[in-house]
Amino acid sequence: MNSTSVRQAVLADLDELSTLFDQYRQFQGQASDVAAARSFLRERFDHGESVLFICHDGTTAVGFAQLYPSFSSVSLSRVFVVNDLFVQESGRRKGLASKLLSALESYAWSLGSARVTLNVARGNTSAQRLYEERGWKQDDQFFMYHRFPESLS
């Protein structure tokens, strides 16, 4: 029987994370580019700009989550944004996304974070169900808006 594990990722996990990150980006409609994925993650590691968690099913890396630190001026506290959460098809329906969420929530709470925030595609109802089952609440106070450079409009 394979055991599953989730832990905070370290630089030695970069190759496995790069492959997973590239798959995640493809899932999000982007073209495959493992080298660019690796470079992006390496920069986050080098500058301490994000916290990554990696999930293994046995010895195979099957998922990851990436947290970005931020702050809330109103609550005068740290907050985190879950920008990326992904589990390969082979690892789904095994509770691995839930384990990733537990790990990143524990990390955030251990640092006194006031909240952890994420965005989920409106059509991704299975993820929405998971978040709600774990006690996450849909924001009913704020709308999210974006402004893009003219070249990307």
Tokens of 28: 């999000």
**3-class secondary-structure state, position 103:** helix
Q: Which of 14, 80, 6, 1 is closest to 42 using CA atoms?
A: 14
Range with the poorest average pLDDT among 17-26, 39-48, 88-97, 106-115:
88-97
Q: Which of 16, 19, 54, 13 is closest to 36 using CA atoms?
A: 19
As a whole number of angstroms, the distance between CA 17 and CA 56 comes to 11
If you average pLDDT over every residue of the chain, what do you get?
93
Tokens of 63: 């998922």
pLDDT digits (tens, 9 = 90+) for 15-73: 999 999 999 999 999 999 999 999 999 999 999 999 999 999 999 999 999 999 999 99
